[in-house]
Amino acid sequence: MAAGAVRPLLVRGRRPLGAVVSAVARAQRAFEETVSSRPLQRVRLRRLAFALLLLAAIALALTELPFAAGAYRVPIALALLLTALQAASLPLAALQPHVAAPLSTAASLALAAMSARTELAWPWWIVLLVGQAAVLAVVAARVRWFLGLGHWLVAMAAAAGLAAALRPGDGDEVAVNLVIAGGVTGAVMLLSLLLSQWSRMGAQLLVERRANEGEVARRVLAEERTRIARELHDVVAHSMSIITVQSTTARYRHPDLDQRAVDELEQIGELSRQALDEMRGLLTVLRGDDTDAPMDPQPGITGVPDLVQQAERAGMAVTLEPLPRSDAAAVPDVVGLAAYRIVQEALSNAIRHAPHAAVRVACAQSGDTLTIRVENGPSATPRLVPPTPRGRGHGLVGMRERAISVGGRLTAEASPDGGFRVLADLPLPVPGGTPA
């Protein structure tokens, strides 16, 4: 790296090592998220890792055999067998770590015992040390830390015992070799242990984060459904109140009614009053401790022009195609409330994510369907809030719940010009009073 590239880091008070650690942490998080979110990719990565271990084992055997048979004068047949056993323990460590570690230690010490008369580095020569360190690194990544430490201690203690038994007079040279071997294998195993623990903790944190996100999404959905239920209560309670009043006062407004009809109307009034009492109890449960819940009448389709005016005051250029008054009057309160809330949320999203963009709001009736369309073009200025990750926006969830609550459907998608489109189809009663 050039000095000019390093200097900005030092000026900001960051050391190059800190930058490297941060980059590694980001890469680790990205790797964990990718691997944890794609089971098929996890399987492929495991297969790739095992294939790399097989290639490393072959390279180890081809490198160690000339050392053992040539420089250390181990009989060729035994050298071939023992180097093959130690090399095989490398991929075996990924499958059976508690078998691979003793096998590698035994093969390594057997090669050392066969070459005890050498004047070269002993009992651990360079290739033998690399093979043992690689096996212990894989074992440390596969087992609990104290089990990996146990395999390392057994290998080092066995090598020290072999050196004391076969070459008791070469204390200094052998001791240095044992210390270097213990330090190298211990450092490699410790690094592998730290990386494996880091990976496991990262995966666990990712699982917990996704669980928290799912819980938040479920809570937001429940709150939105509760709010919809509150508003629907207000609309239905209004209609039930009218039914109660009309049925109770019918005998006074129409004196010529026969007694049979009067009795039926009185029964209707009584049932309506009971239903109102039950709905008041339901509303108490829905409101809970929310004493500040709004008590104003719920808006409807005729309130859409007010929403457009609010958006225009926020700097949006909104074009409105309203529903004709005759058609708007025939829209049920429940459907009108759903349409109003959908337009409200769609305009709010446009203000947040596409400030000063052109927006078109269209309300149209076709047969027994009320169609609400809100389209905005690309943003003319930087967005006011950061983009929401895919699938995590709660406003779209609320709009879909609104549409579903009246038996309709809603689609929200990006438009080809870089804007966004919300389209809702809400059913209306057909002539005669039967719901569509």
Q: What is the pTM of this model?
A: 0.48
Would you state the pLDDT for residue 63? 92
Would you state the pLDDT for residue 232? 67
Q: How far is the first Cα of the chain from the last one, in angstroms, to the nearest whole number?
A: 71
Task: Please state whether 80 falls in left (phi above 0), alpha (psi between -120 and 50) or beta.
Answer: alpha
Segment 97-111, tens digit of pLDDT: 999 999 999 999 999
Would you state the pLDDT for residue 326? 81
Would you state the pLDDT for residue 14? 39
Would you state the pLDDT for residue 10? 32
- Please state, in angstroms and rounded to a whole number, the distance separating the CA atoms of residues 195 and 142: 11
Segment 250-303, tens digit of pLDDT: 888 888 888 888 888 888 888 887 877 777 666 666 555 554 555 556 788 999
Q: In this structure, are strands 358-366 and 317-321 parallel, antiparallel, or unpaired? A: parallel
Segment 184-228, tens digit of pLDDT: 999 999 999 888 888 888 878 888 888 887 787 778 777 777 777
138 contacts 90 by C-beta, under 8 angstroms: yes
Segment 13-69, tens digit of pLDDT: 334 444 444 554 555 555 455 444 455 666 787 888 889 999 999 999 999 999 899
Segment 329-344, tens digit of pLDDT: 889 888 998 899 899 8
Segment 415-429, tens digit of pLDDT: 888 899 999 999 998
Average pLDDT along the chain: 80
Q: At which residue do the structure tokens 């690309």 appear?
A: 378
Per-residue confidence band for 435, with pLDDT thresholds at 50, 70 and 90: very low
DSSP state of 370: E
Local structure of 183: helix, strand or coil: helix
Q: What percent of the chain has pLDDT over 90?
A: 34
Would you state the pLDDT for residue 173? 86
Per-residue confidence band for 383, with pLDDT thresholds at 50, 70 and 90: low
Segment 288-320, tens digit of pLDDT: 555 455 555 678 899 999 999 988 887 788 999
Beta bridge partners of 418: none
Would you state the pLDDT for residue 7? 35
Report all structural domains of the chain as residue ranges with CATH numbers, in order of start: 16-212 (no CATH), 218-287 (1.10.287), 301-427 (3.30.565.10)
Residues 333, 339, 341: CA angle, nearest 5 degrees: 100
Strands of 369-376's sheet in order across: 317-321, 358-366, 369-376, 420-427, 409-414
Segment 320-329, tens digit of pLDDT: 999 888 888 8
Would you state the pLDDT for residue 385? 46
98 contacts 140 by C-beta, under 8 angstroms: no
Would you state the pLDDT for residue 206? 81
Q: If you average pLDDT over residues 221-246, what whole number do you get?
A: 71
